[in-house]
Amino acid sequence: MVVSLDLSDRDKRAALSASAGASFMDEQKKPLIGLSREEMRLVLIEIGVPEKQAKMRTSQIWHWLYVRGVSDFALMANISKVLREMLEESFSIARPEIVEEQISKDGTRKWLMRFPARGAGKPVDIETVYIPEKNRGTLCISSQVGCTLTCTFCHTGTQRMVRNLTSEEILAQLLVAKDRLGDFPDRDTPQGGIAPERVRLVSNIVMMGMGEPLYNFENVKSALLIASDSDGIALSKRRITLSTSGVVPGIYRTGEEIGVALAISLHAVNDELRNELVPINKKYPLKELLDACRNYPGINNARRITFEYVMLKGVNDSLNDAKELARLLKGIPAKINLIPFNPWPGSEHECSDWDQIEKFADFINACGYASPIRRPRGSDIMAACGQLKSESEKMKARERLAMAAMVSGHGDE
Ligand code: SF4
């Protein structure tokens, strides 16, 4: 089943967004979502909340926003009407407009959300993808609209950079997904949502959508610290993964200041090829990148770094590449995700032959590294685009054969 609403269908879009509670994000008002507790306390004092009460009010509002998921001050039942009106006048807690929601037959969901222009000339649209699996549900979140980098295998790299997303907009992707999935307690399951049979439908998040998160460090940091706050959304930092193309200083900062799991878009095992595939390598070559990984705080065999490796036919998929990959990663607790390349019109690469992907995976495996091959998800809604990709899962031989059949016509991963 694909549920799809087209751009002209304003009523349905309003209904979708209204299920989240209120009017759309308003750039004229200051957002409360995305502020740290201290920042929230200070802005409450600015609008006249007595200093002695501000900490308590912050805790109340925090609970409503992140535990109960409300997007309308009127629903904050333990806050006086007068204060609710003051809040309404000064601040926004509204959701973005949901332009489109698609649900794949495999349960993958994709939302196209619209955020205010904020200096970009016109409102911006971004995609967020939810991938349900047996024991978890992963939300793939974007950090920028477009990207300044130009990785040659990535569709987003062909799109111009428009702007960074704010911490509010990064969090909004998570809040909208929870709204639409019925993943907040005490909230009605929206029409078309999944009944909350288990405690958390969004159990994991990956900063792996559009953009380089470490080029929007402060906003990403604020959003992830709020998402992992134990009195709010309370996602474990082990279940949050930040994926970078290799911004080395940002990797050190991520380890020290955020403490979430790390993924590296690696894709090549020597500087010459990586300079071409992931041009930021010219600034931060492999040695520096891998040193930063070796020194990433808290890594061990239970908390490994994920290395993403897109399989490009005749480019990076030989057994010599596999051998070099194992050598390079020696000493780093690592998992290697092999990603069958998803071509787009005009892309200069082809996906490796399935046999070759298998041989590559087997070699890496024999060297002692987990090397799952990503299984395409949401193909009927084209959930894969740029790095908005698929689940990571070790496939059994039977599934690999099925996958091989799909990859032979893999234009639409
Ligand atoms: S892979 Fe990531 S960093 Fe590279 S162009 Fe795509 S979105 Fe940007």
**Confidence (pLDDT) at 190:** 57
Confidence of residue 408 (pLDDT cuts 50, 70, 90): very low
Cα distance between residue 295 and residue 383, in whole Å? 34
Q: What domain range is 52 assigned to? A: 26-92
In this structure, are 88 and 116 located in the same domain? no
**Confidence (pLDDT) at 412:** 27
pLDDT tens digits, one per residue of 201-254: 999 999 999 999 999 999 999 999 999 999 999 999 999 999 999 999 999 999
Query: Does the residue 351 lie in any domain?
Result: yes
**Confidence (pLDDT) at 160:** 86
Mean pLDDT of the chain, nearest integer: 85
Options 97, 100, 101, 127, the catalytic residue: 127
In this structure, are 76 and 113 located in the same domain? no
**Confidence (pLDDT) at 155:** 84
Half-sphere exposure of 168 toward its Cβ, with a 13 Å CA cutoff?
Answer: 22
Angle of CA points 161, 343, 351, to nearest 5°: 130
Residue 410 has pLDDT above 80, yes or no: no
Residue 291 has pLDDT above 90, yes or no: yes
Distance 320 CA to ligand 1 centre (A): 26
| Ligand 1 residue neighbourhood (C-beta within 6 Å) | 147, 149-151, 154, 156-157, 210-212, 245, 265, 386-387
Instruction: Indicate yes or no: pTM above 0.95.
Output: no
Query: Does the residue 15 lie in any domain?
Result: no
Residue 165 has pLDDT above 90, yes or no: yes
Confidence of residue 380 (pLDDT cuts 50, 70, 90): low
In this structure, are 105 and 81 located in the same domain? no
For tokens 């890594």, what's the residue? 299
Candidate of 152, 158, 160, 212 to mutate for ligand 1, largest count of ligand atoms within 8 Å of Cβ: 212
Confidence of residue 5 (pLDDT cuts 50, 70, 90): very low
Catalytic (active site) residue 385: yes
Residue 92 has pLDDT above 60, yes or no: yes
In this structure, are 53 and 82 located in the same domain? yes
Query: Does the residue 374 lie in any domain?
Result: yes
CA 214 from chain center: how many Å? 13
Distance 211 CA to ligand 1 centre (A): 6
CATH number at residue 79: 1.10.150.530
In this structure, are 347 and 371 located in the same domain? yes
User: For the residues 36-50, what does the mean pLDDT come to?
Assistant: 97
83: which residues sit within 8 A by CB, 6+ positions away? Answer: 49, 57
Instruction: Name the residue with the closest Cα to ligand 1, atom 4.
Output: 151
Query: Does the residue 279 lie in any domain?
Result: yes
Confidence of residue 264 (pLDDT cuts 50, 70, 90): very high
pLDDT tens digits, one per residue of 66-85: 999 999 999 999 999 999 99
Where b means 16+ CB within 10 Å and e means fewer, 311-323 reads: bbeebbbeeebbe
In this structure, are 53 and 184 located in the same domain? no
In this structure, are 48 and 124 located in the same domain? no
Confidence of residue 134 (pLDDT cuts 50, 70, 90): confident
CA-wise closest residue to 100 among 24, 23, 8: 8
Looking at the 3D structure of the chain, how many domains does it have?
Answer: 2
In this structure, are 107 and 81 located in the same domain? no
In this structure, are 163 and 226 located in the same domain? yes
Query: Does the residue 191 lie in any domain?
Result: yes
Residue 287: enclosing H or E segment and its boundaries? helix 286-294
Residue 114: enclosing H or E segment and its boundaries? strand 109-115
CATH number at residue 198: 3.20.20.70
